[in-house]
Amino acid sequence: MKTTGRCPKCGGTDLLAVKPGLYNSFPVSFFTNAKIQRYVCRSCGYTEEWIAEESMEKMRQST
């Protein structure tokens, strides 16, 4: 969905990109959270999650 602009389940194009926020994250270390970018198909409800670009380096450095 992120790259194609289409829902892989129903083929719909009415998508909602939910911006990363306080509750759209998970811990990668004791003091660090990775933000999650979510995409939702408004036609069928299918969702897809990606690590937000600004959190990718944090993910690479976590052990």
HEC readout, the chain = CCCCCCCCCCCCCCEEEECCCCCCEEECCCCCEEEEEEEEECCCCCEEEEECHHHHHHHHHCC
Span 9-54, pLDDT tens digits: 999 999 999 877 667 788 887 788 888 889 999 999 999 999 888 8
Span 1-15, pLDDT tens digits: 999 999 999 999 999
What distance in Å separates the CA atoms of residue 37 and residue 48, rounded to the nearest whole number? Answer: 8
Q: Tell me, what's the pLDDT at 22?
A: 63
